Chain A
Amino acid sequence: MGKHETITFSNSDRSLVYRWLASFFTSEVKIETLESYSSPEGKALLDVFALAPELSSFTNQLSQMAQLPKEDYQTQVLDLATAYSRLFLGAGGAHSAPPYESAYYNEKGTLFQKPTADMNKLLQELGISIESSLKEPADHLGVQLNVLAEYIDREALAEASGDQASAHALHENQIWFLSNHLLNWVPSFCEGCKRFDPSGFYEQLAAALNTWLSMDLARLNEAGTTT
């Protein structure tokens, strides 16, 4: 497949991309993460993610990082962890980009607001809960991206079992979720990363995510309108 060729995404691709993007928001990049991306399997993975134009500059950056000499990993990881703490964990004060929908729901950035309640309800409806090791509220970006992955997987399952009505509903759920729980705040979040990320890594990640979300919504709408 050529670089500029139009590529298509199966649902399993899409849910993987969401879970993969989410992983950078739910925890810091670790030495083992970089090691994985320097392995043949990890490289191959990044190569295929890079086929999506909106993800390619981010995967390039990740590849470069993974290719650093192993002895530089520690410093690299600490640089990223420092940026992560400033942007996402509150160490940066107002110079941060809180990864919570609630933070953008009111001017002051108070957490655990209506979006958290909405997301809790949604998880309950889906019959799932956040792993106990992840101590984040349900409106955390990483959780939301995983919810989208969950919808996608369920659509594929419904499809596979011939339940077209459910598949359709799940397809619509994705459009609704992207519009009402992600694209309503991720652009602002992305702006925060752009302004305050001392590493550049999260700025690129957020930009990639933002573009990916828009493109994915467009693809979903496109698939819907060809009905």
Chain B
Amino acid sequence: MSKIIANYTSRRSFLKGASTLGALGVLAPSIFSPRFAQAAVNGEVLSGCHWGAFRAVVKDGRWTEVKPWEQDPHPSHQLAGVMDSVYSPSRIKYPMVRRAYLEKGRGADVEDRGSNDFVRVSWDKALDLVAQELKYAKATHGPRSVFTGTYGWKSAGKIHNSRSLLRRLINRGLQMPNVTHTGDYSTGASQVIMPHVIGTLEVYEQQTVWPVVVENTEVLVVWGADPIKTNQIDWLIADHDSYTYLEEFKKTGKKVICIDPLKSKTAEFMDAEWVQVKPQTDVALMLGMAHTLFVEELYDVDFMDEYTAGFDKFLPYLTGETDQTPKSAEWASEICGVPADKIKELARLFMGNRTMLTSGWSLQRQHHGEQPHWMLVTLASMLGQIGLPGGGFGLSYHYSNGGTPTSDGPALSGMNDGGAMEGSVSIPVARVVEMLERPGEEYDFNGTRYTFPDIKIAYWAGGNPFHHHQDRNRMIKAWQKLETVIVQDYQWTATARFADIVLPAASAYERNDIEAMGSYSNKATVAMKKIVDPVFEARSEYDIFVDLADRLGNKEAYTDGRDEMDWIRHYYEQAQKQAASKNLEMPAFEKFWEDGIVVHPVSQAAKEYVRYADFREDPLLEPLGTPTGKIEIYSKNIEKMGYDDCPPHPMWMEPLERLDGPDAKFPIHVNTGHPNDRLHSQLNGTILREGYAVADREPCMVNPKDAEARGIKSGDVIRIFNDRGQTLAGAIVSEDIMPNVIRLYEGGWYDPVEGGKIGSLCAYGDVNTLTPDLGTSKLAQGNCGHTVIADFEKFEGELPDVKVFTAPTNG
């Protein structure tokens, strides 16, 4: 043995001589340190995320298993994707700069954005560049030249709140008036109209709690919502407690009606009656019901007199006195496709039973989206059950487990933006592209004229506008106006691909934080302990922003002298003090951090909460926050605005386009509902996709009749197109969707066949290649993501690869 080895190694070295070259140390360096690796970390860590609380099993420093928290009554299957997202090949690993930008500076070859030509730079270089751009913006363009709207579902956590941290950087670091956003893509229209109608945002308020609904509601209506699907997630940490109540309701055997163009998960789960309605025609359907209640003299006259204002001004419209068109069930049926008899039957059923009209936000995410919820409140008023146990309406049963009783626990506060400087402005969130297109020009919003700022730099941290914004092609063009785009994220989103400077943020599982569980229940306070170290060169949001503040010369003002753990302790102890004032004991911080969670008690009163019960009890002492103190079916404030697209009482108005609408250019409505297997675009890059992709594309549900007409079967790749754009998708042929409607979930990652090219075919299935970018009206300026018609065909050409999710080729 030894001889052979000796022979082998004693042969003449062909590198003899060369190996003495000094160059070798540089050109063939060793990358090892002669020391033992650090002791491997093992164990189980309790943490939380939008999908719920969970225990992470860590083996030798790697996260290997995710187990739902034992007290989660209905864990989301998406947790598997949460773990996978950390080790996903689509992680941003290093700071990157777009090549043309690096070579030629800001504004270079902007039409090249999206073509994937990036070069790695050091953190120092990347942060120097960002700081330099911010200083340049301030020195050259002055106030309001940097956009920090950075909308999106940032990771949970009160400290590493990328949205607040970014604004804090502009406010305290750069010390320049900023430009941020107002409202959101979820409830843009409703949250502006509802304060006029009922005096609160409504969409983010606690609902009549589920125990009361289970006991008292006789007819549960789920209108354009799918709580079984969407309650998987919470803006904070999901508690999933609504599932228990949905199950209890189902067991009672009471009536559940789902009004929807497709058979939802909820309809399936609840064995509900499915009423098919043509998309975007809900107002007509509601008017038909209201008309029935009126002409049949069924509606609650006393309730209208005592609790509402302006019904008398609405009635002439309802009866057709003003426009010679009675909004009868027959009239409604022509528009919404629900048979007139069914409309009347539903109206009588609602009137004759304790009925809870729950609605999702899909209804208001469309052109004239202010009207549906206004009309829903009007209808609920006519039923006269608002403020009664289990009656009335609710706009948040599908979101963050709304309606789950609220605990006595303290509110947990978190990182703030440090105080915006005078002169800061905000725009309605979904007008971001129009802002880029029309700098210095005026626009209307909720009764006031504003001027669009002239933005030079956009900084996005923890958001993906190239998923959530409508009309992708128009957006790509508008983006070219920006001199510099900075994106900070933990995934190579489409937005990151359209950036100039890309910073790798740590995931929520690679840093310490603290968060509340349950947006409505406030069930617990959760320690979001770091599970594993950041991979590659990823850094926590806080550390990144602190280093930037330092480069801007204002580190102290930014940090207030606190590091990550100091902040966590700070907010915990604030909550602890608040709890003490309510005679509620919370453990010392050390104990909390060790246990990982404090669950708060729930009072009997909280389990019996009925929304608007106080108002119903005493409308004079407990008035609503509207000008009249009552439910405003006619709003004088809105009348004063004089908007042609938002009248002073709810009305049916033709949207920009709709299925079977006048002059409809395309025969198919595209339903852009929320996905069941991810959070908007989050987790699209994970193993969860294996469970739903069709032909490697985003699945698109098609009615058999429409499929047959086009020679399409399940598994085929289809091309969906209209005059705004085009995308591929994988067909699923199913009776669970009504004819002439197809469903392509929002959140599929934009994957242009020709990166950066306007009009390019999306290979994967981003529905926002098809949607229009317009405001709901001058009142709310919400987005209209559900206002879209198109056509589709079997894709016959050479099939382009899906390449947006990093994956190996496997030869």
Contact = CB atoms under 8 A, between A and B. Distances in A.
B140 interface: no
Interface stretch (B34-42, B332-340, B408-416): B34-42
A85 B27 contact: no
Nearest to A90: B806
B32 A150 contact: yes
A22 B5 contact: no
A108 to B, nearest CB: 6
A168 B687 contact: no
Given A10-B11, A82-B99, A91-B118, A223 B94 contact: no
A92 B93 contact: no
Contacts of B1: 164, 168, 227
B472 to A, nearest CB: 17
Contacts of A81: 99, 119-120
A97 B89 CA distance: 11
Nearest to B491: A90
A41 interface: yes
Contacts, number: 257
Contacts of B91: 90, 111
B801 interface: yes
Interface residues of B, number: 79
Contacts of A134: 31
A94 B751 CA distance: 11
Interface in B107-122: 116-120
Summarize A's interface: helix, strand, loop or mixed: helix
Interface residues of A, number: 93
Contact of A78 (B23, B89, B93, B103): B103
A35 to B, nearest CB: 10
Interface string B10-31: 1111111111011110111111
B535 interface: yes
B676 interface: no
B120 A28 contact: yes
Contacts of A68: none
A136 interface: yes
Interface string A105-132: 0011111110011001101100111111
A75 B472 CA distance: 33
Contacts of A117: 59-60, 62
B536 A92 contact: no
B18 A130 contact: no
A23 B6 CA distance: 29
A108 B102 CA distance: 32
A8 B14 CA distance: 7
Interface string B35-56: 1111010000000000000000
B120 A11 contact: no
A110 B40 contact: no
A130 B23 contact: no
A165 to B, nearest CB: 8
A134 to B, nearest CB: 5
B4 interface: yes
Contact of B30 (A19, A95, A120): A19
Contact of A128 (B13, B32, B103, B535): B32
Given A90-B492, A127-B34, A127-B36, A95 B87 contact: no
Nearest to A11: B9
A96 B811 contact: no
A45 B23 contact: yes
A177 B694 CA distance: 38
A186 to B, nearest CB: 11
B808 interface: yes
Interface string B747-767: 000010000000000000000
Nearest to B83: A110
B536 A136 contact: yes
Contacts of B34: 127-128
A23 B34 CA distance: 19
Nearest to B536: A135
A125 B810 CA distance: 30
Contacts of B89: 90, 98, 103, 108-111
B805 interface: yes
A130 B385 CA distance: 68
A90 B9 contact: no
Given A36-B23, A110-B687, 8 more contacts: A9-B13, A22-B28, A90-B492, A92-B806, A93-B116, A128-B32, A192-B811, A224-B4
8 contacts: A19-B29, A22-B31, A81-B99, A90-B91, A103-B89, A111-B88, A128-B36, A188-B810
Interface of A: 1, 7-13, 16-17, 19-20, 22-23, 26, 28, 32-33, 36-37, 39, 41-42, 44-45, 48, 51-52, 78, 81-82, 84-86, 89-98, 102-104, 107-113, 116-117, 120-121, 123-124, 127-132, 134-137, 142-143, 146, 149-150, 155-156, 159, 164, 167-168, 171, 187-189, 191-192, 195-196, 223-224, 226-227
Interface of B: 1-2, 4-19, 21-24, 26-38, 40, 59-63, 84, 86-94, 96, 99, 102-103, 116-120, 492, 497, 535-537, 687, 690, 751, 801-811
